[in-house]
Chain A
Amino acid sequence: MILVFLARSCMVEVADIEQIAESVKRFTLVPVDAGTVLPFHPGAHVETCIGTRNVVLRRHYSLCSDADETRFYQIAVSKSKTSRGGSRYWHEQVIVGQRLEVSVPVNHLSLSRTARHHLFVAGGIGITPFISMMLALRRQGQSFELHMAAKSALACPFYDWLSGTFPGQVHFYFSTEGCRLTPNLLQDQLLGTHLYVCGPPGMMKEFRDCARAIGYPKQSVHMEAFTASQGGDNHPFRAFLEKQGRWVDVPGHQTLLAALREADVNVPSSCEVGGCGTCMVGVIDGDVDHRDFYLTGEEQAQGREILCCVSRAKKDRLVLDL
């Protein structure tokens, strides 16, 4: 097992492109220099990085090959009508032999180690992370089932492969056949069932809400956690330091932390990417545009604290406990 741990990414080459469903292509990526790719934890994704003529495209795709396969990675890309360039580029421009960079595999979704039964619910291309997860469960002899929605069998990625590989464990719902995937299937599951949902945001929310109402514990409901939106609109704002009784201007190109330091306010910091909580400051007034991943959703909603290394004011003003 050759490991390329020290590198955060590795160069791969597109070795094969297959149309596996209407609007879905599967790409097989083989390592260029290293003999093998890193094995990954089931449910992982990679960030792909392709330099085109104009821009560098960075996109996250779930790995849909076997987690133990180290000769290659596979990803499946659905051509989106609302593509920002990523899926269209993959579908129209990428050719066999092309080289790109992929990150070390990362897990935002993983199998529960204590579940008695695993219940997967996929909408269309949302099936991708579940493939490595189901293969791993089958190896471990664990109990699972998949419910998958698509427009039709032709539009359903991995339809033949899923039917052949997991007979009796997969159930399809094709809308053109008038068959709708509804949260009803969440009922009457055994105690100890864990639910995994991947699909369009509306579907994920519907299933999560229904599962909670039925009494699924919070930790038994797993969804791919999308990475928080980085950056976005960086408008300038002003921060009033309540204890010091003065204003600090925060220009659009500067973080609140940097602006405070420039104004000789000593705020301790550590990671400066919104992860450690060291630079947390109390908020007395004003709405916070939270961009950290340290505070809980509840704490963010209360808005009494701000991580000044990444988060900003929603409007033009914040009053800080400084």
Chain B
Amino acid sequence: MMRNRTAAGGGTRKDNLWAFLQCAHSLLFLCQDGQQESCSAVLQMASDLQIAVRTVTVEELKNELGSAKIGTRLYVCGDYQFVRGLENVLFSFGITNEELWSDVTGATVHPVLCAGCYHRNDPVAGSYIHCEMCGRMLEVSNHYSKKLDAVMGYIVLPEQLVFKSEEPQPSRTTPEGR
């Protein structure tokens, strides 16, 4: 699965990528080892637009950022951990969403924070888990914290499952009434 994490409005991925690159004067290109194949379309488009592409390594990134000029765009491609690590560096440097395009390869699954005891449970597929620490049953929500890099696991009561048997989704994905 490839997921673009730069919300560039509607339109297809190609349109959005085109719009992203059109404002670029040069492109800093960061790709995780072994993922180069996923990036060929981007490189082709940059070449079509005659944008200077600079391939940099993670180690070189900080230096490159220090001397890069305004109008530079950044392209990042890799698995979730790779992209998340780089995004933290880039955002703390003051890079805006408009200047960054990230492609995440593979699945993105987040740890689940237990609402009851704050234990970080390993990422799982599925809607319900039992907390490894306290044993509470949790509903895996889509409420995601970048800071904690986890989704909220809301406590589920046994009554809820019995009561709502016709629709086994307590669906408390956000705090009530907020």
22 contacts between A and B (CB under 8 A): A114-B94, A115-B94, A116-B94, A188-B69, A189-B69, A189-B70, A190-B68, A190-B69, A191-B65, A191-B68, A191-B69, A191-B72, A192-B70, A192-B94, A213-B23, A214-B70, A214-B71, A215-B24, A215-B25, A216-B71, A217-B97, A220-B96
Using a Cβ cutoff of 8 Å, how many contacts connect chains A and B? 47
Within 8 A of B (CB), among A101-115: 114-115
A216 touches B70 (CB 8 A): yes
Count residues of A near B (Cβ-Cβ below 8 Å): 19
With A116-B93, A220-B96 given, can you name 12 additional A-B contacts, CB distance below 8 Å? A190-B67, A190-B69, A191-B72, A191-B99, A214-B71, A215-B25, A215-B72, A216-B70, A217-B97, A217-B98, A218-B98, A219-B98
Q: Which of A115, A116, A190, A217 contacts B99 (CB 8 A)?
A: A217
**Is A193 part of the binding interface, using a Cβ–Cβ cutoff of 8 Å?**
yes
Task: Write the A247-258 contact mask toward B (1 if CB under 8 angstroms, else 0).
Answer: 000000000000
Q: Is B86 an interface residue when CB atoms closer than 8 A count as contact? A: no
Check B73 for interface membership: any CB of A closer than 8 A.
Answer: yes
B contact patch SS:
loop
* In the complex, chain A residues whose CB is within 8 Å of the CB of B96: 217, 219-220
| A214 B68 Cβ-Cβ under 8 A | no
* Shortest distance between the CB of B49 and any CB in chain A (Å): 13
Tell yes or no: B95 within 8 A of A by CB.
Answer: yes
Complex interface bits, A204-219 against B, C-beta within 8 A gives 1, otherwise 0 = 0000000011111111
* Chain A contacts for B71, CB-based, 8 A: 214-216
- Using Cβ atoms and an 8 Å threshold, which residues of chain A touch B24? 215
CA–CA, A217 and B98, complex, Å: 6
